Amino acid sequence: MINFLSNKVDRQVLFDVILKLGKYDYAINLAINPTDLRLIELIYSTLISEVNQSDKSIS
């Protein structure tokens, strides 16, 4: 996953998704540190976890 998120275009897509979800604190952190792969990994993992949680609550 790090290779996927290390691409500038992929980081931009992640940033756009974060904004559309209203996760402005994530967007600010990503804008400040756009090349911090640990931060990107953490944000990505958190978003996936939140999506999985919302899927379980819908079922």
* CA atoms of 56 and 30, how far apart (whole Å): 28
pTM of model > 0.85: no
Rg (CA), the chain: 12
- Spans of all domains in the chain: 2-54
CA pair distance 6, 14, nearest whole angstrom: 11
Distance, CA of 8 to CA of 22 (rounded, Å): 21
List pLDDT tens digits, range 41-59.
888 888 888 888 877 776 5
| pLDDT value of residue 44 | 85
- Which pLDDT tens digit goes with each residue over 17-45? 889 988 899 888 888 888 888 888 888 88
On the question of pLDDT at 2 being above 60, the answer is no
| Identity at 23, one-letter amino acid code | K
